[in-house]
A and B are shown apart, each in its own frame.
Chain A
Amino acid sequence: MANLKEVVKGEEVTLEIEPGVDILEVNKQLAQKNMELLREHNVKAIDIMGSIGAGKTSLIEKLVQSLKQKYRIAVFKGDLTTTIDAERIGRHGVQVLTINTGRECHLDANVVARAVERISLEDIDLLFIENVGNLICPAEFPLGTEKRVVVVSVTEGPYMVVKHPFTFMNADVMVINKKDLAEIMKIDTEQLKKQVKEIKPDVKVAVTNALSGEGVEELIKALEL
């Protein structure tokens, strides 16, 4: 532990810890190590977060299709148990590694470090990491990626941004997906954009339809790829 100050009173000892042991700091340090390792190998890594069914996998499929000529791509696919999504992405001819978390609701820097050991960083330039479907927990655990993306879809209702401000504070890019359903769902995507910019003024926003590919170019630009 950090700096300890011992105060002894008879049998009783109080350990005062300065500046304290931050339990979340362990993950942050591992994330920093991941980032350094990836940078050394010139690999750009992108963490993709969002609710279950927001369209994360479909977006990755479209990103892979558009970018596989330009970059050598690998995808880490966080899932509780199955490899269904990994098979979907694998069809596009890129390396996919499933990280099954079992019961855990998010990926952390440690499981990503283990996964990185299993691939050859010399053979890739771009790594997408699809987090576990969950709009909340993954935000607390940086993985060591260059950019963090949060995907929301209009079918999640009008309040997903204002209800989860701390998730968006950790995002570099926000995707509003399923734009083709916005009118049916009575969602004003401009309103969502305004809200997320209020929470995080430097966030970039892309509005997409991951099934048709509409807006994916906008997302690629936002990711600076």
Chain B
Amino acid sequence: MHELSMTTQIIDSVLEEAKKQDAKKVIEVHLIIGKMTFLGIEQVRFSYNILVEDTIMKGSKLIIEEQDGTIECPSCGYKGSLQFADDPAYHVPIPTLRCPKCGKAAKIVEGNECTIRSIRMLK
């Protein structure tokens, strides 16, 4: 829902870095977006293409890598991928923070990020 403001921040950060590097053009941006964020990949792409229009990022390639959720249990130390439980009432898989090993509440350690990983530019 806030892809536009998030993408604006991504582009501002990239442009700032490009300026520092005296780049003439940005040709590629590599992002990592966690699957546990509320960011829609399609909306990020849509916003990106509009927002780069009048900048040196125009025409740049946007690579988006999705990051799966990882949980860690503070009680028993389990670390692994986010688990899904079946809701018998509706038969839908729902993501759960229940530790598959000890049943206590685990914490999210990966999957909540929206990270700029690399920028390719021309000097």
Binding site for B on A (CB under 8 A): 1, 11-17, 19-26, 104-106, 134, 136-137, 139-140, 159, 162, 165-166, 169, 191, 195, 198-202
Would you call B95 and A165 a contact (CB within 8 A)? Answer: yes
A137 neighbours in B (Cβ, 8 Å): 1-2, 38
B96 neighbours in A (Cβ, 8 Å): 165, 198-199, 201
Shortest CB-to-CB span from B80 to chain A, Å, is 16
CA distance A166 to B96 in the complex (A): 9
Additional 18 contacts, C-beta under 8 A, given A19-B115, A162-B87: A12-B120, A12-B122, A13-B121, A15-B17, A17-B118, A20-B113, A20-B116, A20-B117, A23-B9, A23-B10, A25-B113, A104-B5, A136-B38, A137-B2, A191-B89, A198-B98, A199-B95, A201-B105
Interface residues on B, range: 35 or more
| Cβ contacts A to B, 30 pairs, < 8 Å | A11-B122, A12-B27, A12-B121, A12-B122, A13-B21, A13-B23, A13-B123, A15-B17, A15-B21, A15-B118, A16-B118, A17-B118, A21-B115, A23-B9, A23-B114, A24-B6, A104-B5, A105-B1, A136-B38, A165-B95, A166-B36, A166-B38, A169-B95, A169-B97, A199-B94, A199-B96, A199-B97, A200-B97, A200-B105, A201-B104
